[in-house]
Amino acid sequence: MFKGKKVLITGGTGSLGNALTQRLLTENVDTIRIFSRNENKQLEMASKFHDDRLRFLLGDVRDYNRLTRAFEDIDIVFHAAALKHVPIIEYNPFEAIKTNVMGSQNVIDACLEEDVEKAICIGTDKAVSPLNTYGATKLLMEKLFITASNYLKKERHKTKFIALRYGNVLGSSGSVIPKFINQIKNNEKITITDPNMTRFSISMDEALDFILKATEIGKGSEIFVPKLRAYSLMDVKDALFDLLGKTDEQIVGIRPGEKLHEILINNEEMNYCWEYQEMYMIVDPSLRKFISLTNELPEKKKIENMEIYSSDAVEKISKEELKKIFTDSELLD
C-alpha cells in the first residue's frame, strides 16, 4: 500500500523515525517528509540516506499552521513526535501536555484540513493505567486519535485515524539493557530496581513490521497491539554477566511512576479486544464505528482465557536466547 505514496513522519529524526524511513524507502514511496525540531539531526539524517525522496521540514507539532503547510498533498502521517523522558516530564508536566496532547490534536486537525488518507500515532505501554504524567499524556493522545472521526461526515473527511501501542524497543536509548552494559564495562555495580521485574521484548525490525501491517489493515479508530514475548531483568543481568564478566549488583527499588510488570492491555480493555493475525485489536464499544469495525475483519477472534496482557503472563525469552540476541546485535560494541 506504500508504493507511490507521500509519507510524513513527525519526530522523524529519532531512532524510530530513522528506522521507519529506511524501511519505507524500500517500499518505493514517492516522498518522505521528516518533520522535527532538531536541525542537526536533520543534517545527519540527510547525510546518512542521500536519497532525493527525502524532504526535511523544521517545525514543532505545537504549531498548527506549520503542520498544515507540511501536510499538504501527504497520503500517510506517522505521528512519533513526543516528549518522552519521564523524570523531566514529571518536573515539566504542562510542557508534555502541550506537545503530547495539544500537539497530537494539531496533527489530527491538520490531517483533516489536508485530507490525509491515514494517520497513525505511535503509543506506549505507559498509556495503560498510567502511573506518571508521560503515560497520562500518551493515553490522551490515543483517545484523541481513536475518537477523531466520531463527529466527521465521511463525505467530507476520508482520514482514518489509528493508534499503535507497544513497549520500548529492545536496547533502545534510555532502556535498561544499555544501562547494564555500560555499568558492566565500567566495572560499576549493576543497579536492579526489583529482581522480579519483567519487560516486553520487541526488536526494531519487529516494531517496523507491526507498524506497517497495522497501517495496512487499519480501518480507523482501532488500537493495535503486537503479540510479544517478555524477559526478566535477572535473566538480562545473568546473560550480560556471562558475555561481559561479572560485577557487583545492588537492589535500588522501583522508581516513582514505574511498574513491576509492563501492561499492554488491561482487564477492562480485554472486554472489547480481539485477536487478529499476529496482533490484538482494541475497539471501544462506545465508538460510533464499533459495529462496522468488528464486522469488517472476519478473521478476528475474541480473546479467551486472558484477563490482562502483562509482561509477567507471557512466554519468557530464555537467558541463552538473550545471549544470542545481544551477540547478534550491535549492543555490545
Closest CA to 67 of 97, 35, 29: 35
CA distance 98 to 60: 11
Q: Between β-strands 160-164 and 223-226, what pairing exists: parallel, antiparallel or unpaired? A: parallel
Give the DSSP letter of residue 126. G
Give the DSSP letter of residue 316. B
CB 233 within 8 A of CB 192: yes
Task: Report the amino acid identity of residue 33.
Answer: R
- CA 137 to chain CA centroid, nearest Å: 14
Per the residue annotation, which of 126, 160, 237, 289 is the catalytic one?
A: 126
CA distance 24 to 155: 30
Active site residue 126: yes
Integer CA distances (angstroms), 151 to 64, 148, 157, 228, in order: 20, 7, 10, 34
Grid cell in block for residue 1? 500500500
CA atoms within 13 A on the CB side of 155: 0
Give catalytic residues, as residue numbers: 126
